Structure 1
Amino acid sequence: MFNITLKGANRLDIEFSGQLDSDDMKAMLDELVKKSESMNNGRMLYRIGEFDWPTLGAIGVELSRLPELFRMIRRFDKVAVIAEQGWVRTASKLEGALIPGLDIKAFEPAQESEAQAWLAR
């Protein structure tokens, strides 16, 4: 399950849980790209619930769209990831280190107010 909500001109909130198959991944990426089209210096709040690895088909969809996703991610300066699972928070930090110009910070669910404040700065 996923939900992408536009929260102002330069803010997206994404909620995700469960497992994505190829159709879900395509729909999620289409919506993400569309809702972020006009953003500059964007902020993203990413809430990740119980996470199951995507199917191989979903991973294939994501890999096939990497150039488009790299263009889209340049629209954002900050991403706050809220996740219960420690390994998801660690993976988010590593991803932030690999993408120049994008600051990713991970938070536990009890730290949502800190995540919101960090994004607002």
Structure 2
Amino acid sequence: MIHISLSNANYLYIEIDGKIYPGEMESAVNQFLRLASDLTSGQLLYKIEHFSLPSLSAVAIKLRHLPELFKCIQKFDRAAVVTDKKWLQTVAELEGKLMPGLEIKGFDLDNFSAAEAWLAAS
């Protein structure tokens, strides 16, 4: 399951729970692109529980949209990744080092309020 919402003018909240299938991925990518289209200096808050690798078909859909997603991600300054998987936090933070202008920080699930505070402090 993927749920994406615009929490305020520059804040996208993305909740991922369980395995992601092609229809969900297509819908989520389109919704993300639509909601982020008018943002500047945006922030992302990901909450990831019960993570399971997406199906190969879902990955293919995301790869098909990579040019649009890379262009869109430039609209964001910070991203907090809240998850119970330490390795996801590490991968997210490494990804942030590869994307100029985007700072990514990982947080444990029980530190959701710390992630929100970190985003608000920017």
Q: 2:88 corresponds to which residue?
A: 88
Q: Which amino acid aligns with 2:45?
A: L
Identical columns (%): 39
TM-score (structure 2 length as normaliser): 0.96
Give the superposition deviation at 1:66.
0.7
Q: 1:3 corresponds to which residue?
A: 3
Give the superposition deviation at 1:20.
1.1
Unaligned runs of 5+ residues in structure 2 are none
Q: Which amino acid aligns with 2:76?
A: F
Unaligned runs of 5+ residues in structure 1 are none
Q: 2:78 corresponds to which residue?
A: 78
Q: 1:30 corresponds to which residue?
A: 30
Provide the rounded CA distance (Å) in 2 between the counterparts of 1:114 and 1:71: 28
Provide the rounded CA distance (Å) in 1 between the counterparts of 2:7 and 2:22: 27
Runs of 4+ in structure 1 displaced over 3 angstroms?
none
Give the superposition deviation at 1:109.
1.1
Q: 1:60 corresponds to which residue?
A: 60
Q: 1:43 corresponds to which residue?
A: 43
TM-score (structure 1 length as normaliser): 0.97
Q: Secondary structure at the match of 2:8?
A: coil
Provide the rounded CA distance (Å) in 1 between the counterparts of 2:16 and 2:114: 20
RMSD between aligned residues: 0.8
Give the superposition deviation at 1:97.
1.0
Provide the rounded CA distance (Å) in 2 between the counterparts of 1:62 and 1:113: 29
Provide the rounded CA distance (Å) in 2 between the counterparts of 1:57 and 1:99: 25
Provide the rounded CA distance (Å) in 2 between the counterparts of 1:52 and 1:87: 13
- How many residue pairs are counted as aligned between the two chains? 121
Q: Which amino acid aligns with 1:102?
A: L
Q: Deviations over 1:81-114 (max 9, x none)?
A: 0000111111111111111110000000111111
Provide the rounded CA distance (Å) in 2 between the counterparts of 1:18 and 1:109: 15
